Structures are given as structure tokens and as C-alpha cells.
Structure 1
Amino acid sequence: MNAPGSTTREAVFVVDDSRTAREVVRLHLARLGCEPVTLEGGEACLAELARRAPMLILMDLRMERMQGDEVCRAVKSHPAGRNVPVIMFTSAGEPHEVMHCWRAGADDFLPKPVALEALQAKLVAVRNARERAKEGPPKGRRVLLVEGGRFLHTFLGGSLEQEGLHVLYARDAQDAEALAAEHGAQLDGFLVDVSRAPRETLALAARLRDANPKKPLVLLSRAEESGEVLARAQALSGAPLLEKRHLGADELLGRVLSRLTPDRVPLRAAERVPFFTVVEFAPLAGGAALTGFSHDASPEALFVRTLTPAREGTRLSLKVSLAGQRAPCSAEATVVWANSPRAPGAFRAPAGMGLRLERMDPALTQQFVRFVPRTHGFPLTGNPRASGF
């Protein structure tokens, strides 16, 4: 017996109260070289988790005694399960079911009946996650954020992550020094809030500048600063201090990005709003269709959570299912950033992809114009005379 919390690398839990469904998935996993561990329900899953942590948990959402979302919450709160990926089986084309999975902390979903090719893609992504953690985040997108308050962590840090950056969060100057010493060679830029303790954080900024003279340093403040602080910030960063009181949220993020990653066109993540959909995507050039779900949208982008993102730069054909609509909408998009899953590390970034929308059918265009502020419409797929504009 393995010690609690230890990992059997290729073990995969299959949790379903249908014997037939368990057997189908078990055969798929056996063909893919895994050790399937079939479990009849949530109680059996949690009991087995106390014995060993698997590489992956596959679980049906709809079970009689203990619903899959309830089991998922219990898994994610268990010391042995919090870092184990959970993929839920749901009814195809049912956004409300996928939303239940997401709220429970599931990492991805697969529509039923489960196709071997789709299962294999998710499995390969999970297998590769540990190796990607050793490689570290992609070059050019690694940022140290020195927080001055909750605003930076929740809004600005979250927006940077949705723009494709990998963020290393420091609580204060002391924490920043330690993180910079440990990860300095990996970092591509620095963002420092000077408002809480200007003298201390400007001294930190000076040390970061001295140690990394060729990497961008962005300084901002949430308060009104003295002329001395403004002058010192300008001298250190080579640009004026960004003062939140003078800038809207979208403009602040835009200026931060223009200094950190001047060659990237933003997805306007500061303007994103909740926009939950189920997304099936495939390369326009041809290839297998895979699945994910969007949790947010900006006026020109869709942010998709999936363990199997397409490569950056790929043009995709999308089928987008919204709650309350019988037929999926269609769209085309380009992958601006893509993060494959990684084992937990110091840097924060969501597994999935940011999609710049290029064409949408009339139904999806109407939903964007209705629910996403400052959306002005898109070129339409299909017959443009069907437009509601």
C-alpha cells in the first residue's frame, strides 16, 4: 500500500456509478498505457484517494448517491488531491453542466460518450505537465509583481495572467528580494507598486534595476505621490510613474503591457466580463476537434480554459454553446497565447488559451454586443445579410 499522498504515476481513477461507462473508459485507458482504477462512486473515490494520489481523476458529473461536483470539491480540499487534475464527464452541449464542474474546481471536461482520441489528448497533456514545470514558463512572459494591496493581486495580476503572462507574486519588498534572488535569471520584467512605502519600494526598484539593467521595470502607485517620488521613479524606470488615480483600469493595463511586452497586442483583459460557454475548437487548416470552456470575454477576445490548448498563432474554427440556445454558434479566432498544464510552481498562469476573435455568426455577435461592454461587432461568418446591425 502506498503512503497517503504519494503518487502512483500512471494510475487514473475512473469514477462513475454506471458499470458500462466505467468499463468503456477502463478499456480506453488500458490501450493508452495507464493503470485504470475503477470506482463506483464518490465515497469509493475519496476512500481510494486516502490510500494514494493518482495522476488523474476522470469522473461523471451525474451520479446518484454523491454528485460529481460534490466529489470534486472534496477531492480539491483533500491534501492528497488538491493538485490532482480532475476531468469531468458531462452531457455534450450542456453549458450548465460544465459550469457546475468549473465551480467545483474541475480542471477540464469531456463530453459523453467519451471518444478515445479526445481522452488521449487530455491524458498526454496531464502526463507532460510535470516536465513543463521543470522547463519553467516561456521566455518573454515572466513577470515579478510586487504588490502594494489587494487591487494589484486581484485586478492587475489577474489581467496580466489573462494577457498570457506568467506572474510571480511578491507580498512586499522583503519577499520580492527573495523571489528575485531565486528566479532572477528567469524573469523578463518587474512591476512594482510604490504607494505603500515609497522609500522602501523605490530602494527595491533601484536594486532590481542594478541587477537587471536590460529588463523592463514598471513603477506605479495607487496614491498621490510627491514630486521627489515622481522624479525618482522616472529616473529608475525611464518613464513616468503610472498613477492609478489618473487612469482607467483598461488604460492602466494597456500602459503596463506596452512597457513590459511592447511587441504584443493586448486582448483587453482589463475589460473582461463573465461569459460562460462551452467551446469546441479545431484548426482551420484541419485537425481533431477538442473541447474547453470560456469563463470570461473581453470586447474582442474569448478566454478559454482547457488542458489541451492549440499552439500560439493557430487559426481556429469554433463551435460555441451558450446556455439557453439550442444550436451552437460559430466563430473563427487566432490563438494569441496558450498555456499547457504544468505542475504547481512559483509562477501563476491559467491552463488554456486567449483567443482573438475574428469572425462570428450573427447569434454570437448579438450576445457579445448585449453582454460585453464596448463591443462594436465583428465581421460575420456566413451571409452578412443575416446581421442584426
Structure 2
Amino acid sequence: MEPALTRDEVFVVDDSRAVREVVCQHLSRLGCEPIPLSSGASCLAELERRVPAMVLLDLRMEGMQGDEACRRMKAHPNAGSVPVVMLTGASAPHEVMLCSRAGADDFLPKPVEFDALTAKVLAVRAAREHARQGPPPGLGVLLVEGSRSMGSFLGGALEHEGFHVLYARHAVEAEALAVAYGARLDGLVVDVSRSFAFQDGLALARRLQILLPRKPLVLVAGVEEPTDVHSRARELTGEPLLERRLMAPDALVARVLDRLAPGVAPVRAAERVPLFSVVEFTTRCGPVLTGFSSDASPEALFVRTLTPARAGARLSLRVTLAGQRNACAVEALVAWSNPPRRGSAFQGPAGMGLRLERVDTALAAQFQRFVPKALGFSLALPTRSSIF
């Protein structure tokens, strides 16, 4: 028996009438309200009249290509947060990479497997409830960023560790968020760099500490700070100020994570390789589901997908790296899992962090090839800090 949904509008954008009809019929059986559209231009025009719950968008169409339509949709003031699932004629990495770069949330290879489509639709349907629930316990973080580069770096690293991040760019915003979401916050990270517009990041850190006295407080700096700043930082937290200029990126992230969640081993790999990859994964009894990753690593993988498996689940993966034709077999454990959350103030990517347990020899050889020779690489070696 197929699961029932309350009726949600779903744009089905494909220049093939046959594909539109088949997909729309399945969506109707799920209780959705499919809106068939034959081009990217008609999709963008329809957005001016209504905002759907979800968009299924073919990558290769006559006229405007799907990735361009997706890019414009994500820039639309009313539809930027609408989940977009791209339909691709092949699951080749270069095809899926176009979808990822356009801002797509997920993809489905054609011909569409209806079990996989059903899973994506159900995930989007559940997103509203997840938003009301807020971040999972232990994963809500307020990041007060003194500089755009520091905020982007640390925020992205925290999100890829499964944290849900509230971003504040100045003191007034930081205090307002602390008051509004204090019960959902599990830690605070404050950049005390002197580049702050309000000048004294340490004074802000002290006010936040008073507002949320039992929350871990981590102080970081993007530039060299004088001795008195280091002394005041230690007085506030009992820990040294973390200076980005003195640490390798992974070392800084590891120190921040250790203070936010002591004893939790980070998923972030010590040596990450910037290779795009397509990931197909299955649980013991479920359908084959899809996702993609913008980096690969010998120890871990972040997979962006609307349908992550539960934390603790063991998965069988087929990973196809960019530039490769054949998929590699991988066994992995789900370290953390974030389903999509629509309407939440916290930012956390829909997806999952995986610890790789068994990697076939072909994939191991690719890691060996792309990790810089100065670092070396061996699956038998213990994890060590990266220097790049």
C-alpha cells in the first residue's frame, strides 16, 4: 500500500510528454497535486503565480537547460528554499555536478524509479515537522562571525559535522538570536577578531555567556591578537584563544569540535580530496537512493541528499568519482543524519556524514593518486592532521 500525503503542489518540468505523464500519475497516487510544465521558462513563469512544495526538473531540455532554470529558481525571492530534485538521463558525475553547481538539493537518474521518487517526496513532506522540532539535541550552534571568510570556513565545517548553525554577523543580531533560540542552542562560537564592526568581540562573548551560562563557549580569532586579548579570552572560558593563523584548518576544526562536544570523534577527514562524486546507497531493506558529494576522503564522506539514512545505519555504497566510468564499492556507517528542514532558522545541509569502513582497491588507488605526494597516504596509517 502506498503512503498517503496531504496534497502538495509539485512542479514536474520535462520536455518529454511521456515522462511528465508517468511521473504526474505517480505523484497523484501519492496525494500530491502535480503541475506538468514543458520547459524551464514555463517553470519560472509559473513561479510568479504559485510556489510549489517541490520541483522535479529535467537537466537536459530544449531551450533553457535544467541547471540554468534551477540556478534562477534558487535566486528567486519567493522560491529559493523550495527543494529541487534534478532528473538526469545518466548518473555520470559530470551530469550530476551540473545539478550540484546550480544549487539542486538532490537528483534522480532516469528512468525514474518510483520507490526512490516516493522516498524523496516523503522526505520533503516531513521537512515541515522537522523544522518545528528544531535541531537534534547537542547539535545547535550559534556562530558569531567577525569576518566573512572565518564564518564561511567554520560554519561550513560545522555543518559538515552534522551541526545546525545560527549565523550572526553583528552584536545586536547575536544577542537577539541567543534570546530567541537559547533553549535550542548547545554551544556558542564567537570570532573575537578586531575586524568586528562593534570592535570588542570579547565584550559580546561575555554578554552571551551571561545570557546562556551553561553553554560551551569557544573563542576564535582570524588574525594575530595582543596579549591582553588572549588573557581575557582565557579568563572567560578557561581555555586558550584559538588563532586560525597558527593552525592547519583541520586542526582548528578539531579543537572547536572538541570544546563543543568533548569525546565525539569528528567525521571530517584528515585529508580531503576535492573530487565530486555520485553516491548510490542502500540499507538492508530499502530502495536504492541517491546523493552527491563535493569531496572524497579515505576516512569519511559527506553525502548531500534529501533522503539520508538513520544515524547508526550501515550502508552499502556505490561511489563514482568525477572522471571515472566505473563505480566503486564501499561499506559505511552513518555517523550523523540531517533530514531536510524547511523554514528553520538553523542552517544544516540535508544529508549524512559517513565513516568509511571498507573501501575497494579501485577507490583506494584513486585516493592514493590525488592526495598530495608530500603527505603520502595509506589506509593502514592512523588519521593525522592535514597541512593543506
Same fold (TM > 0.5): yes
For residues 113 and 11 of structure 1, do their structure 2 counterparts lie closer, same or farther at Cα, with a shift above 3 Å needed? same
Aligned length: 371
Per the alignment, in what secondary structure is the counterpart of residue 250 of structure 1?
A: helix
Give the one of 7, 17, 20 matched to 1:19: 17
Q: Does 1:297 align with 2:296?
A: yes
Amino acid at match of 1:297: A
Structure 1 CA distance for aligned equivalents of residues 201 and 58 of structure 2: 50
Contact kept in structure 2, 1:249 and 1:270, CA below 8 Å: no
TM-score, structure 2 length as denominator? 0.90
Contact kept in structure 1, 2:93 and 2:320, CA below 8 Å: yes
More displaced 10-residue stretch of structure 1: 158-167 or 217-226: 217-226
Q: Following superposition of structure 1 onto structure 2, how do residues 268-287 of structure 1 map, counting pairs within 5 Å?
A: 268=268, 271-283=271-283, 285-287=284-286
Q: Does 1:64 align with 2:65?
A: no
Q: Does 1:331 align with 2:319?
A: no
Corresponding residue number in structure 1 for 2:117: 119
Q: Following superposition of structure 1 onto structure 2, how do residues 178-193 of structure 1 map, counting pairs within 5 Å?
A: 178-193=176-191
Deviation of 1:270 (Å) = 7.3
Q: Note the alpha carbon deviations across 1:36-90, whole angstroms, 9 max, x for none.
A: 1111222222222221111111121111222111221222222332121111111
Corresponding residue number in structure 1 for 2:385: none
For residues 315 and 372 of structure 1, do their structure 2 counterparts lie closer, same or farther at Cα, with a shift above 3 Å needed? farther
Corresponding residue number in structure 1 for 2:27: 29
Deviation of 1:180 (Å) = 0.8
Deviation of 1:228 (Å) = 2.7
Deviation of 1:11 (Å) = 0.9
Contact kept in structure 1, 2:7 and 2:33, CA below 8 Å: no
Corresponding residue number in structure 2 for 1:195: 193
More displaced 10-residue stretch of structure 1: 225-234 or 369-378: 369-378
Contact kept in structure 2, 1:302 and 1:357, CA below 8 Å: yes
Deviation of 1:345 (Å) = 2.8
Corresponding residue number in structure 1 for 2:233: 233
Structure 2 CA distance for aligned equivalents of residues 47 and 244 of structure 1: 46
Q: Note the alpha carbon deviations across 1:270-329, whole angstroms, 9 max, x for none.
A: 75342211111012x443221111112344211111000001111111001223433211
Corresponding residue number in structure 1 for 2:212: 212
TM-score, structure 1 length as denominator? 0.90
Computed over aligned residues only, the root mean square deviation of the Cα atoms, in angstroms, reads 2.0
More displaced 10-residue stretch of structure 1: 106-115 or 234-243: 234-243
Per the alignment, in what secondary structure is the counterpart of residue 51 of structure 2?
A: coil
Structure 2 CA distance for aligned equivalents of residues 228 and 78 of structure 1: 47
Q: Following superposition of structure 1 onto structure 2, how do residues 346-357 of structure 1 map, counting pairs within 5 Å?
A: 346-357=345-356
Per the alignment, in what secondary structure is the counterpart of residue 341 of structure 2?
A: coil
Structure 2 CA distance for aligned equivalents of residues 82 and 354 of structure 1: 25
Contact kept in structure 1, 2:269 and 2:299, CA below 8 Å: no
Q: Following superposition of structure 1 onto structure 2, how do residues 164-183 of structure 1 map, counting pairs within 5 Å?
A: 164-183=162-181
Structure 2 CA distance for aligned equivalents of residues 78 and 206 of structure 1: 39
Contact kept in structure 2, 1:14 and 1:58, CA below 8 Å: yes
Q: Note the alpha carbon deviations across 1:238-261, whole angstroms, 9 max, x for none.
A: 211112232221111111111011
Q: Does 1:109 align with 2:107?
A: yes
Corresponding residue number in structure 2 for 1:54: 52
Per the alignment, in what secondary structure is the counterpart of residue 110 of structure 1?
A: strand
Structure 2 CA distance for aligned equivalents of residues 126 and 30 of structure 1: 16
Corresponding residue number in structure 2 for 1:310: 309
For residues 180 and 107 of structure 1, do their structure 2 counterparts lie closer, same or farther at Cα, with a shift above 3 Å needed? same
Deviation of 1:199 (Å) = 7.3
Deviation of 1:357 (Å) = 1.0
Amino acid at match of 1:368: F
For residues 136 and 128 of structure 1, do their structure 2 counterparts lie closer, same or farther at Cα, with a shift above 3 Å needed? same
Structure 1 CA distance for aligned equivalents of residues 151 and 48 of structure 2: 34
Contact kept in structure 1, 2:336 and 2:354, CA below 8 Å: yes
Deviation of 1:33 (Å) = 0.9
